[in-house]
Amino acid sequence: MVLTIFFDLSRIASMGAILYLVMDMIIHWGVFKHLREKIEANSVIVLTALLLDAVILTAFVWVKISSDLFVVGVSFVFILLIFIGERFFLKRTA
């Protein structure tokens, strides 16, 4: 609800795309690093997906920086808050 008060739909969608691509890259890296043998994942496919996500994210962020730097900044803040929250959660439950 807070996002809908301060941002229009195109800005919310841009933040969602950035956050999704970062999350997707983290999942690909986790599969490659920790689960590759267990689930018999093809390393080439996983690394290709990771590389393509990185290319798309880089291009998208480059375009958004030139047109709407605030969205990139807010997305970066959200990513930091999520990582801090995850770290706090995992320390308390592990």
Predicted local confidence at residue 3, as pLDDT: 81
pLDDT at 37: 87
The number of domains in the chain is: 1
| Overall pTM surpassing 0.85 (yes/no) | yes
Mention every residue, 6+ apart, whose C-beta is less than 8 A from residue 22: 57, 79
Tell me the per-residue pLDDT of 10-19, one tens digit each, with 9 for 90 and over. 999 999 999 9
Question: Residue 9: which pLDDT band, with cuts at 50, 70 and 90?
Answer: very high
Confidence label for 4 from pLDDT (cuts 50, 70 and 90) = confident
* pLDDT value for 2: 79
Domain of 74? Answer: 7-93
